[in-house]
Structure formats: C-alpha cells, structure tokens
Structure 1
C-alpha cells in the first residue's frame, strides 16, 4: 500500500487550548505509519453554530500515512478520548477536536460503525480549517469541489486571526 496525503483539522476552546493542541500534535506524531509532514500556524476563530462559548484555537496538519481512512479516524478519536473530549451537543465547546478533512483524493461516504465523509462536507465553508489548509497547501484540490484557495472568499464574514505563537510539540508542558 502506498503512502497517502492526509489533512487533519485540530481545534479546541476549553482549558489551555494551545497546550492541548500541541499535546494532540505529539499524540498524532506517535501513531505508527503516520508522519507529520507540515503544520499550519495557529488561528483564533469565532465559534460556528453555537455562539455562546469561547473562541477556538485551530490549525491544520498534513500527514502521510499507510493507514486506511477508518483506521486513522479511529486513532484520532482515541486521542480525543485520551484527552478527555466529551460530546455534549453539535458545535459545543470542546477540549480537543480532530477532524479528518482530506484523505488523498478520496471523495466518498464511508459507511461503518461511524459515518465518515471525505472530503469533510463543510471544509470549503469554514474559515477555521480552510485558511490553515490554504496556508500549508495553497494549490490543494478538494475532490468534488475544486482549488481550496478559491473558497476563502466564501468565508469572508467569519472572523479569523493568524497567531504568531509557535505550533509545535517541543513546547509541551505536562498536565
């Protein structure tokens, strides 16, 4: 099986979010058959949907993997559980959120224990993942949609700020 290019969205707005995003990055880097190739800057964004909550910190990472989409999704969900993510309601505050955005050139609804839709169905409409994705892969094609950078204008009403805070796992403080 050849290596596939994957993009994962990372976000959170509970507790020390930046530290938790860094910790999730460290956890992802420890998944066998997964290599982190690049990572975006950190972004501060307003919540989408449920507005009465703190702003979110977000980033996107690019991986190379030999895992299947479902296997990688399972590992990402395990990291969320390990970091004590609770699922209260749609768009609720969260400690960590790891979303499989793009997996190679897959454009498919996968059925199984958990539904997986690739590419992520709202990727091109959400500044909090689209801007970091375009930062690290400006010429990326979203299967069934088109060139990712062409969709930034659809997100123009969403507040997003690129931060000048390092996003790497070398600054992790244990908690």
Structure 2
C-alpha cells in the first residue's frame, strides 16, 4: 500500500482572478490519483509583502494528502503555476498564482529550489493565519502554528470567507 504524506500549501495571487486560480489548483490537485485535498482554509485578503506598490493578495492554505515525494510535489506545483500563466518576474511582485509548500509531514527538506518547512513562513501572517485555521497544532521550528501567528503583525490580514467552502471539490466522487 502506498504511504500518504501530509503536505500543507500556501496559495496566493493578486492579479486577474486569484480565487479562480486557487480553485483551479485545488481542483487539479484533487483530480490527481496521487493527491487529495483534505482541508482548505478560508480566503484571506492580505497586504503585499516585500514589494508594497501592488494590489492586495488573496491567500489560503490547503492540506494535501499525497503519495508524491517533496520534489515531485514541487514539480506538480510549478506545472500548475505555468498552466495558469504564472510569470516569474520580480521577487515578491504581482502574480496570478503562487503555490508554496509550507510543510511536508514532519520532514525538513533542503534541496535546490525547495526548502521545507518554508524558511520565512513564521514571519508572515498571510501564511500563518490560513494555516492556523486548518493546522493550528502543527509544529514549525518547535512552535505551534497558532502560537507563531500570535507573534506576528496581522495588520491588514482580513478573513473574507467564513470557511474553506469557497472551494468545493469536483462533483466526481473519488
């Protein structure tokens, strides 16, 4: 029997229709035989981080159950970004979609192009707020996600949906 891993992703975007791009990512993940969406957070409107002269972002977190190894999951994420016309221009710049692997089981991964746990997640309310909603007890550097959220500035981070119901799985049952 294949071993399933718990991966947590952060989804975001601030140009076009980022909520539709995030729905497309979740639909595509859930349609794969090697991935299943286990939980999705509410949508959050968040101010830009790093590069401030751009529109606010929409962000969410997703819990994925997968048989893929971390590098394989990264390749799936990058392919989904490309399929949605993600252009990697300036660092922290505007984007239609961004998919980051935040956590993968309890593993630490340090590969070219992939560091897990995500190296800056504990500084970013736009990551921690949605993640704390679906995985408050998960540990990052020895601290619970919900405790990390209490330590960061949440100014401008606004929950805009009641729950993860903004994404409904595809009609076809697994």
Structure 1 residue 107: Cα displacement:
1.4
Checking the alignment, whether the CA contact within 8 Å between 2:42 and 2:130 is kept in structure 1 is: yes
TM-score, L = length of structure 2:
0.90
Q: In 1, distance between residues paired with 2:62 and 2:85?
A: 21
Checking the alignment, whether the CA contact within 8 Å between 1:34 and 1:63 is kept in structure 2 is: yes
- Which ranges in structure 2 are unaligned for 5 or more consecutive residues? none
Match of 1:126 among 96, 119, 124: 124
Q: Alignment RMSD, CA only? A: 1.6
Q: In 2, distance between residues paired with 1:11 and 1:4?
A: 22
Match of 1:154 among 151, 154, 169: 151
- Which ranges in structure 1 are unaligned for 5 or more consecutive residues? none
Matches within 5 A, 1:85-124: 85-111=86-112, 115-124=113-122
Deviations 1:34-74 (A, max 9, x none): 01100000000000000000000000000111110000100
- In structure 2, what is the equivalent of residue 16 of structure 1? 17
Checking the alignment, whether the CA contact within 8 Å between 1:33 and 1:65 is kept in structure 2 is: yes
- In structure 2, what is the equivalent of residue 69 of structure 1? 70
Q: In 2, distance between residues paired with 1:132 and 1:119?
A: 16
Checking the alignment, whether the CA contact within 8 Å between 1:25 and 1:169 is kept in structure 2 is: no
TM-score, L = length of structure 1:
0.89
Q: In 1, distance between residues paired with 2:109 and 2:34?
A: 23
* Runs of 4+ residues deviating >6 angstroms: none
Distance change >3 Å, CA 17–CA 101, structure 1 → 2: same
